[in-house]
Amino acid sequence: MQDFVQLLSDDFNNIFFVNGERNGSYPYSHSLLIGDYLIDTGISSGYLKKLKKQYPINHVLLSHWHEDHISGNHLLTNSKFLCHEKDKLPIEDIEKMLLYYNVENTVEGKEFSAIFGLYGMKNTHVSKYFKDDEIISIGDNLRLKVIFTPGHTAGHCGFYEMNSKIAFLGDMDLTRFPYYTTIDSNLMEFENSIERLKTLDIEIAIVGHRDPVIGNSNIKNELTNFKSAIQKRDERILSNLFEKKPIHPMDLKGKNLIYKRYTYENFEVISEIVMIEKHFEKFLKENLITIKDDGYILT
Ligand SMILES: [Zn+2]
């Protein structure tokens, strides 16, 4: 067995955690190999080439369209690809990612396209779109349930194997940095998806960018912490709004309200504005703010 491939349970000889290169930090991510199904392909091209030599990969399930989860698709030309229909566009046509990141025809967009070149990414032919609650039978003993968890992207899905209680949660990734920065992200859906995941009886949670989380109560705690990181952002943003002076999300540009510091400044300042807009959307829906002139005031 390769050192980046790890059997997850002694009771199931065909469920493996596949540790992404650089421990799954961006631009890589972790995968789950379950029978001949691989979930996500961002482990790195080197790892993927080694993996497919040793294990048959006949099907690929994509948790969502982000480049760090689908970058290896082009190396699995003999596999059938499946994703949620709401995420199909940028998977089938990767140039659409620029539109989704709101960087079409910009310098940042050009930098981004250069990254695609680096990955050697290509458009993917998707054979089938899976649906919420659909159960995929794998071998004699595994039943993998699709858990639709939108918010991070419009079609983001997790997967829950019902016998082993092992789940793959993708970028509902239980880090300190919940991420809802593409134009198809939705913060209210994101929070509802966290609540939905709390209702599942998960024993091992595999996520995109950190080590597996073991134990049902640990997983529930981590989901609570994940949500409270969003609530802290709510508070920080609300403390910059007023009862009389209208504020527009663009007025909060570059103020580090979400990123403590900017590592890739051009890109992260744009991301931050997109995320702040999602908070405004939520505040408006919850009647915490109202529109005034060309901005928003506290209600
Ligand atoms: Zn993502």
Residue 140 CA to ligand 1 centre (angstroms): 31
Neighbours of ion ligand 1 (CB under 5 A): 66, 171
Determine the distance separating the centroid of ligand 1 and the alpha carbon of 66, expressed in angstroms: 5
CA of 212 to the centre of ligand 1 (A): 17
**In contact, 72 and 31? CB cutoff 8 Å:** no
**pLDDT one-digit tens code per residue, 149-200:** 999 999 999 999 999 999 999 999 999 899 999 999 999 999 999 999 999 9
DSSP state for residue 20 in the 8-state scheme? P
**Each residue of 131-151: pLDDT tens digit?**
999 999 999 999 999 999 999
CA of 158 to the centre of ligand 1 (A): 12
What is the 299 CA–ligand 1 centroid distance (Å)? 33
Distance from CA of residue 144 to its chain's centroid? 19
Residues 230-274: tens digit of each pLDDT: 999 999 999 999 999 999 999 999 999 999 999 877 778 888 999
Please check the confidence at residue 89 and state whether its pLDDT lies above 70: yes
Query: How far apart are alpha carbons 299 and 50 in whole angstroms?
Result: 57
Ligand 1 centre distance from Cα of residue 176 (Å):
14
